[in-house]
Homo-oligomer: A and B are copies of this chain.
Amino acid sequence: MFSPVESRRLYRQVADQIRLMIASGELAVGQRLPAERDLAEQLSVSRPTVREALIVLEVEGLVNIRMGSGIYVVRQHAATVAGAEREPVEGPFELLQARALIECAIAEEAAGRAKPDDIALLDETLTRMGGVVNDAIAVLDADRAFHTGIAAIVGNATLIRVTGEMFDMRMTPYFAKLASHFEGPTTWRSALDEHRAIRDAIAAGDAAGAKAAMRAHLTMSQKRFSESFGEEFSGEEERGRNKRPSKGTTKT
């Protein structure tokens, strides 16, 4: 049943093992897990380690921990789980491709629904973005606001959230490292122009145009990205202390 555990980030291995038992159905949905103390004994680890593993599963949404009662399986499939350790799975290009497909559909839909208020909101992000092209952090924020703002026009919270999540994924260490090389006032101004084209198409109610403009924008992003791919790691940023990305710090 429960087998002892090996090495390397113990609580994560414990989490993996329990996650596997849930996915395989060995632990059915709704079922109560053994008590923390029992789990610790059966896995030959200490209770704090078991607790840490269970907290991981709780954050992932797989189990529900109820004080004084027990730990219950709430669903079978490991859902989201933010970035952390999945960089080896999805590369920047893959991400941009996915965004192109999804955000094009959103832009297309938004073109038929936009009201003056919505356009005003987009304009706000555009002017804000134009004023901070030299601030790497603030401009990213405006960029994000523009993309989620389009999703907001459709009026669906899920779309807004998914759009934001995909945007945030560029913040993985590996991605951010690359981005720091090709992002600059010049490229941001290009992106801003493309944003304006999208905004205009949506404001005009031109669904096909909005879709095309969004596709062009994300395609260009991809292009700007690949052009600076050759010189991966040439310099370090201000607070960087010579730490290579070493893309496997927490991969399991």
What is the interface of chain A, defined by CB distance below 8 A to chain B?
7, 9, 11, 25, 28-31, 48, 51-52, 55-56, 58-67, 74-77, 79-86, 89-90, 94-95, 97-99, 101-102, 104-106, 109, 113, 137, 141, 144, 152, 154-159, 161-162, 164-166, 168-169, 171-173, 176, 237-241, 243, 249-251
Q: A60 and B84: CB pair below 8 A?
A: yes
Candidates B61, B94, B154, B157; contact of A83 at CB < 8 Å: B61
Q: A30 and B77: CB pair below 8 A?
A: no
Q: B77 and A164: CB pair below 8 A?
A: yes
Given contacts A31-B239, A113-B239, contact A165 B55 (CB under 8 A): no
Q: B94 and A158: CB pair below 8 A?
A: yes
Q: Nearest B residue to A243 by beta-carbon distance?
A: B157
Q: A173 and B74: CB pair below 8 A?
A: yes
Q: How far is the CA of A99 from the CA of B161 in the complex (A)?
A: 13
Contacts A89-B157, A94-B156 supplied; 11 other A-B pairs, CB < 8 Å: A48-B51, A55-B56, A63-B84, A76-B141, A77-B144, A77-B164, A97-B156, A98-B159, A101-B106, A102-B102, A152-B241
A52 to chain B, nearest CB (A): 5
Q: How far is the CA of A105 from the CA of B109 in the complex (A)?
A: 11
Contacts of A25 in B (CB 8 A): 137
Contacts of A86 in B (CB 8 A): 61
Contacts of A28 in B (CB 8 A): 137, 239
Q: How far is the CA of A65 from the CA of B37 in the complex (A)?
A: 26
Candidates B55, B77, B83, B171; contact of A168 at CB < 8 Å: B77
Most B CB atoms within 10 A — which of A86, A90, A156, A166? A156
